[in-house]
Amino acid sequence: MDLPFFKKKDVIALDIGSSSIKLVKLNQAKKGWEMEKLGIAYLPPEAIVDGSIIDSMSITGAITSLIKENAIKVKDTVSSLTGHSVIIKKVSMPAMTEEELSESIQWEAEQYIPFPMTDVNIDFQILGEDTEGRGQMDVMLVAVKKEVINDYVNVIKEAGLNPVIIDVDSFALENMMELNYTFAPDENVAMVNIGASITSISIIAGGVTVFTRSIPMGGNQYTEEIQRNFNISFKEAEDIKLGKESGSMEPVELSSVMNAVSTNLTMEVKRSVDFFLGGSPGVVINKIFLSGGGAKTKGLAELMQESTAIPVEVVNPFIGVAYDPKEFDEEYLKEMAPYFGVAVGLATRRLGDR
Ligand SMILES: Nc1ncnc2c1ncn2[C@@H]1O[C@H](COP(=O)(O)OP(=O)(O)OP(=O)(O)O)[C@@H](O)[C@H]1O
Ligand SMILES: [Mg+2]
């Protein structure tokens, strides 16, 4: 129960990505959400590889400087994981209450998870009765390797913070969407979060995530292809990709290298969407929302729209967040919007919410 005079404890959200850490703190006011803090700290390329923490020192260091720069006092931290360390599966189980499932989840989940139960943390969300009405229900199962959770928990603790929730990127995006957009009950959208090393694809139907998949490619693929084709360093290739440096190559050559990667990425998204639609007859996807820094890739949204025949839009996680324009620069927020999709979603989580 939510008593209005017991304000829930504030948290800070840290989206620890492989290229940068995004920090957001939102205040839950009577009128709605207000922006209190926003920051980003870039990480060296080898700090996180394949979703695993390799260089915990630089991550802790980056978190510590973000906390300091933004004068953060709150310790409770919400963070998230993505990629192959997270297994999300929609499964069918005998209908039961949430309480009953809490008690039997280890046993029920065992057959679906390819790791020993002792190695993973399990969570779930009941999606409702399945359509065949045979006393079964659909459940979203989430399993994360304890080893990976521990690594993330440790870097947060070493920065002097208190990790209270470790979420999953796709679910954070679902919360971000709920905060910023309204949909008709029969509207379905695909979320495509293009990070530096991982792209996660999920489908939100009737406000609930019903499908997720992650693919090990993202912004780094563009940089690596530029690096390989023009025989330059990763750093130079990244700067050229971001338009910070012009490089000596012909612009047409550069865009043909970029387009090849965009085509691959688009094909992967299309495959996921088609796979989902194949198992859900009569369902349509009304829109694809892009987030993550990779959403800013020139020409990508247009290409995706053309090849999927679904409207594509880049998300703005700040629509539903009030902010003081004297404190937060509007142009900067517009520029950085896709980066902060996950972090804004995490920032709306409060301990005790389900
Ligand atoms: N204008 C742009 N054009 C192309 N790519 C861009 C642009 N801006 C940012 N990117 C790319 O976006 C990526 C960073 O996005 P993001 O911060 O969402 O990733 P991350 O969360 O650090 O990574 P991951 O989630 O994969 O671990 C980088 O690869 C970066 O080069
Ligand atoms: Mg990310």
Give the angle subtended at the CA of 14 by the CAs of 59 and 165, to the nearest 5°.
110
Residue 348 Cα to ligand 2 midpoint, Å, equals: 17
Tell the burial category of 83 from Cβ atoms under 10 Å away from its Cβ (0-12, 13-18, 19+): buried
CB-hemisphere CA count at 13 Å for 50?
2
Would you state the structure tokens that stand for residue 83, as one six-digit string? 């990629």
What is the model's pLDDT at position 3?
52
Question: Which DSSP helix (H) or strand (E) runs through 284?
Answer: none
What is the model's pLDDT at position 7?
61
Ligand nearest to the CA of 214: 1
Residue 270 Cα to ligand 2 midpoint, Å, equals: 21
Would you state the structure tokens that stand for residue 178, as one six-digit string? 């709920």
- The residue ranges of DSSP E strands in the chain, in sequence order, are 12-16, 20-29, 32-42, 48-49, 52-53, 76-81, 86-94, 120-129, 136-145, 162-168, 188-194, 199-205, 208-215, 287-291, 312-314, 321-322
How far apart CA 178 and CA 174 sit, in angstroms, is: 6
Block mean pLDDT (10 aa), the chain, length 354: 62 97 96 97 92 94 98 97 89 92 91 92 86 82 94 97 95 96 93 97 92 95 98 96 92 96 98 94 95 98 98 98 97 98 96 63
- What architecture is the 183-315 domain classified under in CATH? 2-Layer Sandwich (3.30)
Q: Does the CB atom of residue 198 touch ligand 1 within 6 A?
A: yes
Which residues neighbour 134 within 8 Å (Cβ) at sequence distance 6 or greater?
A: none
- Nearest atom (ligand 1) to Cα of 219: 29
Residue 85 Cα to ligand 1 midpoint, Å, equals: 20
How far apart CA 136 and CA 131 sit, in angstroms, is: 9
Measure Cα distances from 200 to 153, 214, 215, 242, 332 in Å: 22, 4, 6, 22, 25
CB atoms within 5 A of ion ligand 2 belong to 17, 195
Count Cβ neighbours within 10 Å for each residue of 96-130 and write b for 16 or more, e otherwise.
Answer: beeeebeeebeebbeeebeeeeeebebbbbbbeeb
CB 140 within 8 A of CB 124: yes
pTM, 2 dp: 0.94
CB 312 within 8 A of CB 191: no
Of 56, 341, 45, 349, whose CA–CA distance to 199 is shortest? 341
CB 23 within 8 A of CB 70: yes
DSSP 38-103: EEEEE--TTSEETTEES-HHHHHHHHHHHHHHTT----EEEEEE-GGGEEEEEEEEE---HHHHHH
Q: Does the CB atom of residue 192 touch ligand 1 within 6 A?
A: no
Of 137, 234, 108, 124, whose CA–CA distance to 171 is shortest? 124
What is the model's pLDDT at position 1?
47
Q: Does the CB atom of residue 85 touch ligand 1 within 6 A?
A: no
What is the model's pLDDT at position 24?
98
Residue 195 Cα to ligand 1 midpoint, Å, equals: 5
